[in-house]
Amino acid sequence: MVKILNIITGVSGAGKSMALRTFEDLDFEIIDNIPLKLLPEILTEESDFKIAVGIDIRSRGFSNDKFVEIIKHLKNNDDFETNVIFIDCDDNVIRKRYTETRRKHPLTKNKQILEALKEERALLSLVKEISDFIIDTSDMTGHAFKRVIENKFAFGTHNQKLSLMTMSFAYKKGIPSEADLVFDVRFLRNPHYDENLRHKTGLSQEV
């Protein structure tokens, strides 16, 4: 029996819409921007359900305290599993995204985008504290973000299987935020500086 309620929340521009689309691909029923007080009402008495709900500061009746109160009530019900997934992102990255798309932040009136983000983070402070999963999309491509969600939440679907994603990175740019395991291989000789290996790729057995 599978009864799952995933609540997608987080900072505007961080990737909540893409998260919902990914859950839809994983056969979840999707509901976006539902009034907060209606959240408990969407749960059905059916034997199985998988629902992903988008809730953020745009949702009617939203407040830190009310959100926490409802989540605690839902988590006390052992008949189904409730997960809160907070999508976050660096402010400067979000500002760039809004600049490129020409969309308006929900709290932008006479404010600059960074001022609006500061206000939004204050409104979401308790929500982030009680979240079960926090996904930072600052350094992620859309494809990588989708893979992270699939790897964490594809249980009970046709995608349920062991999945590994390997990536290389430069320490000077920081450790990738989505990494679960990091292996430091700086003790190995860099093949780029070997004239016999420089022209080869990582698919070469010698490399």
Query: What is the average pLDDT across 100-110?
Result: 77
Query: What is the average pLDDT across 118-123?
Result: 89
Query: What is the average pLDDT across 159-182?
Result: 77
8 Å CB contact between 123 and 74:
no
Position 47 scores a pLDDT of 67
Report pLDDT digits (tens) over 30-55.
Answer: 999 888 888 888 876 666 788 999 98
Reduced to 3 states, what is the DSSP secondary structure of residue 38?
Answer: helix
Cα dihedral angle (90, 88, 69, 1), rounded to 10 degrees? -170
CA 130 to chain centre: 15
Reduced to 3 states, what is the DSSP secondary structure of residue 83?
Answer: strand
pLDDT-derived band of residue 163, with 50, 70 and 90 as boundaries?
low
Report pLDDT digits (tens) over 38-97.
Answer: 888 887 666 678 899 998 888 888 888 888 898 988 888 888 889 999 999 999 998 888
Strand partners, 10: 87
Position 19 scores a pLDDT of 94
> CA-to-CA distance for 4 and 148, rounded, in angstroms?
18
> CA-to-CA distance for 189 and 197, rounded, in angstroms?
11
Please work out, in degrees rounded to the nearest 5, the angle formed at the alpha carbon of residue 198 by the alpha carbons of 197 and 199. 95
- Count Cα atoms within 13 angstroms, Cβ side, for 17: 2
8 Å CB contact between 131 and 1:
no
> CA-to-CA distance for 20 and 26, rounded, in angstroms?
10
Give the containing element (helix H, strand E) for 3: strand 3-10
